A = this chain, B = another copy of it.
């Protein structure tokens, strides 16, 4: 019964995600969204609610796919040290390949919205904690395999690596010389020694 929806909900949500990711919440207008999503405002409201709810849906979608990507990448390599190196190098390469860096949607939101909106404070914090657990599991795998020393504090170390990842992601938005991030990565990876 009733007219069938003409758009793919996942497709248009993905378009909204890209836009919010690039421009942030405030700087993205509904008119920007209708162009990019290819549907009109009433369709957006019917499917996702108001602008903030659409933003939240887009952010959740990002976080899901991001966490899964991180887990996959870290599990791919039998060596934990190599896995972290490859992961960080991948993040760096991505930013330096694209003409303009998008960084991380979650980090952008942590800066723009978390201090003024408790919902996003919680949402972004939980995502970072989740990533840090993925890091921790990887480190524990390295301890188990004997690649890392038995005495390593997996939790603290994983948290420090998350913080470095955030710092790297953020400073790359200012396009520092490549040597800056390369130096940083080398020093940071010595924490796994």
User: Residues of B contacting A103 with CB < 8 Å?
Assistant: 111, 115
A110 in contact (CB, < 8 A): yes
Q: Is the CB of A174 within 8 A of B27?
A: no
New contact pairs (7) apart from A27-B116, A160-B187, CB-CB < 8 Å? A24-B26, A102-B115, A107-B170, A114-B175, A125-B176, A156-B187, A163-B168
Binary flags per residue of A80-108, CB closer than 8 Å to B gives 1, else 0: 00000000000000000000111100011
Interface size class of A (residues with CB under 8 A): 35 or more
Known: A26-B26, A164-B164. A114 touches B187 (CB 8 A): no
CB distance from A171 to the nearest CB of B (A): 6
A165 in contact (CB, < 8 A): yes
Residue among A115, A121, A155 with the most chain B CB within 10 A? A115
User: Residues of B contacting A128 with CB < 8 Å?
Assistant: 171, 174, 176
User: Residues of B contacting A155 with CB < 8 Å?
Assistant: 183
Residue among A100, A125, A155, A174 with the most chain B CB within 10 A? A174
Copies in the complex: 2
Candidates B102, B110, B132, B175; contact of A170 at CB < 8 Å: B110
Binary flags per residue of A165-193, CB closer than 8 Å to B gives 1, else 0: 11110110111100010011011101100
Q: Is the CB of A24 within 8 A of B112?
A: yes
Q: Is the CB of A121 within 8 A of B175?
A: yes
Closest B residue to A120 by CB, please name it. B174
Q: Is the CB of A171 within 8 A of B176?
A: no
User: Residues of B contacting A134 with CB < 8 Å?
Assistant: none
A30 in contact (CB, < 8 A): no
